[in-house]
Structure 1
Amino acid sequence: MSNNRQHVVPLDLEKLPMTAELDGSTALVTGATSGIGRAIALRLAGLGASVVVHGRDQQRGAETVNEVAAAGGNARFVAADLSKSEEVLRLAAEAGEVDVLINNAGIYRFASTPETTAEMFDTHMAINSRAPMLLVGALAPGMATRGHGAIVSLSTGAATTPVRGAAAYGASKASLELLTRVWADEFGAQGVRVNAVASGPVYTPGTEEMGDETLQEIGRTTVLGRVARPEEIAEAVLFLASSRASYITGTVLQAHGGQLAIG
């Protein structure tokens, strides 16, 4: 088997074109105070959207809002604990009329099935699956009434490929992918597109807990032979949220660096 890999120069956000493509729209990004969510929020603001930055930490929320403002964008922060249904619904109410919903927030805790407690399983399902469902249920009808909207959820390769120790995480994301296809059918006739992005290994504060060597090892299992930057996944999300993907709905875009052939 060839060991050649395609080495791509990582994206530089400062060199990406800023347009008014989303001028006048409002976008809600969950988990937007770090990692992929933060990169998505910055890019959406750069395209003219007024961004509702969600997170749990007030300080990190303020930092993200200030970063958006420093770049000439508009953002505000709303704190909410997505493991609690009432908090999710409050977030939707405070966000108001939303044109773009990015379900990015998620958790992953690795454990074997015997080591996975009921609380661990329920928390994965609550944050990774139930929270997006409640947000879509609260916000998509308004999009449908206005005749337009885009919803993009963050999934993972673990939703379709078994990963040891990731039963609860993979199950919660597999649920999210099925919900994506159901929502696309439910709201598509009213002009609302619903898609997901299944990412591969990404450098984020969360994955840093795995250790650099472990993350690098996972990156070497991809065709590109490396770990992605948050900005690279954000670009896939931005594409699906934009008018450039106007004929794409009910799709899970694989952004995992490519699958190596066997042999």
Structure 2
Amino acid sequence: MSITPLAGRSALVTGSTDGIGAAIAAELAAAGAHVVVSGRDAGRGAEVTRAICAAGGRATFVPADLAAGAPAVQALADAARDAVGGVPDILVNNAAMIISPKPTAEVGEAFITAALALNVTATFLLTGVVAPAMAARGSGAVINIGSINGLVGMGGSALYSATKAAVHSLTKSWAAEYGPAGVRVNTVAPGPTLTRRIEQYADRIAPLVARAPSRRPSRPAEIGRAVVFLAGDDAANIHGATLSVDGGWSAV
């Protein structure tokens, strides 16, 4: 018998047309949730939703470019509500610009603005739309996708680390703000994870992986299962936490 701890619930996952986001969407659907897949690439979005449905899950694709600002964020929230018939039970703030290591002095102002717009501002705005509606209902779970880069300092990673540290901080503030109304807010912080993009930089992440007690990178599905746990009833009294899925890297 399959276990569906999220049966009857709905989820909105931003940036879920590829990589970790797609894996999160697939794991939430496998756990029984009706998932709204979102992102800029309609072709990849269709592929992800087809794969989820072929596996017996429920998914709806909604295109969104969250870097476009508040109107795009509101449009996604409205479309997600229409797709699942109400305010989603679960919001996963995953959409982010992945930034390759670069010396601080070589990072231009326009790039800084773009990274902050997607990694921080979009997360802030979308949560500001969805979480109050969850609070009015009296229940909900927000899971932000952070990073081990937001927990420790890494040379050449100042901008990306700053955006993820902001996400970790927002998690704690939102836990304090929305927790009393029944909305739990937590973070999953992945370490090196075998996405299609990261596989292209295997030589760069090898030294990081070698330091982890597990001696291997994470698999995208493992990030997804951590999200499922935090979204479900087994995590009912977990608020404001950061769950690192990094093979123990940040512990040692």
Superposition map of 1:135-154 within 5 A: 135-154=126-145
CA shift in 2, pair 1:115/1:236, >3 Å: same
SS of structure 1 residue aligned to 2:196? coil
Q: What letter is aligned with 2:181?
A: Q
Q: What letter is aligned with 1:24?
A: G
Structure 1: 5+ residue runs without aligned partners? 1-16
Number of residue pairs matched by the alignment: 245
Distance in 1, Cα, partners of 2:3 & 2:185: 23
CA shift in 2, pair 1:260/1:36, >3 Å: closer
Distance in 2, Cα, partners of 1:146 & 1:261: 37
Deviations 1:170-219 (A, max 9, x none): 0011111111101101110110000001111001123234x222222321
Superposition map of 1:159-198 within 5 A: 159-198=150-189
- Contact 2:148–2:250 under 8 Å retained in 1: no
Deviations 1:103-154 (A, max 9, x none): 1111122221110111111111111111111111001111111111001011
The structure carrying a bigger helix percent of its residues is 2
Deviations 1:47-69 (A, max 9, x none): 22111001111111001111111
Which residue of 1 is the match for residue 23 of structure 2? 39
Corresponding position: 1:200 with 2:191:
yes
Which residue of 1 is the match for residue 247 of structure 2? 257
Deviations 1:63-91 (A, max 9, x none): 11111111111111111112111212211
- Contact 1:26–1:99 under 8 Å retained in 2: yes
Superposition map of 1:1-150 within 5 A: 18-85=2-69, 86-96=71-81, 97-109=87-99, 110-150=101-141
Post-superposition shift, 1:18?
Answer: 3.5
Q: Comparing 102-111 with 180-189, which one deviates more in the overlay?
A: 102-111
Distance in 2, Cα, partners of 1:212 & 1:84: 32
Which residue of 2 is the match for residue 248 of structure 1? 238
Distance in 1, Cα, partners of 2:2 & 2:124: 31
CA shift in 2, pair 1:20/1:235, >3 Å: closer
SS of structure 1 residue aligned to 2:106? coil
Distance in 2, Cα, partners of 1:119 & 1:206: 23
When the two chains are superposed, the root-mean-square deviation of aligned CA atoms in Å is 1.5
Post-superposition shift, 1:160?
Answer: 2.1
Q: What letter is aligned with 1:89?
A: Q
CA shift in 2, pair 1:260/1:206, >3 Å: closer
Q: What letter is aligned with 1:105?
A: A
CA shift in 2, pair 1:70/1:191, >3 Å: same
Off by >3 Å, runs of 4+ in structure 1: 259-262
CA shift in 2, pair 1:116/1:58, >3 Å: same
Distance in 2, Cα, partners of 1:260 & 1:83: 30
- TM-score of the aligned structures, taking structure 2 as reference length: 0.93
Structure 2: 5+ residue runs without aligned partners? 82-86
Distance in 1, Cα, partners of 2:251 & 2:42: 45
Distance in 2, Cα, partners of 1:152 & 1:69: 23
